[in-house]
Amino acid sequence: MKSNRDWNNINSLEIFFHGLIMGTVNKLPGISGGLYSIVIGFYDHLMNSIKNINSKTIKNLFLFDFKKLNSSINGKFLFFLSIGMIISYFTTSKILDFFLINYELYIWSIFFGLILGSLYVLIKRTNKTNVKKLLILFVGLCFGLLLSFSEPLMENRALTFVFFCGFISICGITIPGLSGSFILILLGNYELLLVDAVNSFFDLIANIFKNENYPIDSELIKILIVFFLGSVIGLIILSKFLSFILKKYPIHLNHLIIGFVLGTLPIVWPWSKVELGEELLTMFNNFYGLIFILASFIIIILLNNNVDKKNLRSNR
């Protein structure tokens, strides 16, 4: 999982671009931004950066001491990655919604191929296996399958539950392979937190800056704030735990992730996403779906090979 690149000195635009992609995939049920960070090679750097956030970090932030912030928590890296994720949350995801409505089979075929490619990368990085590692992989597989076939709960607006949703859904970043959006679907609050609350926030911004007069649901704004707080606290706490696991048991964690991702593949199986009554699947539909799976799989392999080459150059 570890990359030899110095992510503190990477071009800001590249970090921002990775943030855009992570923010986009984190909104998709079944896909994890954490898995993307592993393939690109900055997962451990991200976890260690977040782990270092403490009371001194908050103090330096309020004092606008950006020099200390950058040295203590890799501030430049976190800043541009976060900006990219936030912007994509409100922009690229809208574009993605259009394609999911109009080209559902093809889009999910791309996602499925990307995940298969990520699995290949993870498996390629494993060392010699043994019974213990296979057992860990099996545990991850069982947990992934359990999640894949679970029934969603009903919507719940209780603020304590909303906070819990934020805390647990951030796993999409901290735990590779675990989709935060899919967790929200299972908890019954996906539409409430990622659609209704966000739209209400949009209306509030429009009222302030465009002199519009949209009706504002104050409860939804409160829900969004609590969800955000839960996400931030969950991100900090889980990153500290995972940084410890990553340092002590990196190979075991890798096997657990492989098993888990294998178990969650049914979530993103393209042909389960399209109802026959909604779209008549022709031979050409199926053929193009397979082509998109293969193409996106190859893209991940090429992308990972490019990352490996950069790591080799940084070692020289």
> What does pTM read for this prediction?
0.74
Please provide the average confidence, as pLDDT, over all residues in the chain: 81
Domain membership flag for residue 127:
yes
DSSP string, 116-144: HHHHHHHHHT-----HHHHHHHHHHHHHH
Summarize pLDDT for 174-196 with one digit per residue, the tens. Answer: 777 677 887 888 888 888 888 78
Mean pLDDT value across residues 15-27: 87
Domain membership flag for residue 198:
yes
Domain membership flag for residue 142:
yes
Q: What is the pLDDT of residue 295?
A: 94
Domain membership flag for residue 2:
no
Q: What is the pLDDT of residue 94?
A: 62
Domain membership flag for residue 183:
yes
Domain membership flag for residue 287:
yes
Banded model confidence at residue 292, pLDDT cuts 50, 70, 90 = very high
**% residues pLDDT > 70 (the chain):** 87
Residue 276 in this model has a pLDDT that exceeds 50: no
Q: What is the pLDDT of residue 277?
A: 45
Q: Can you give the residue range of the structural domain that contains 239?
A: 7-315
Domain membership flag for residue 1:
no
**Count: domains in the chain:** 1
Domain membership flag for residue 26:
yes
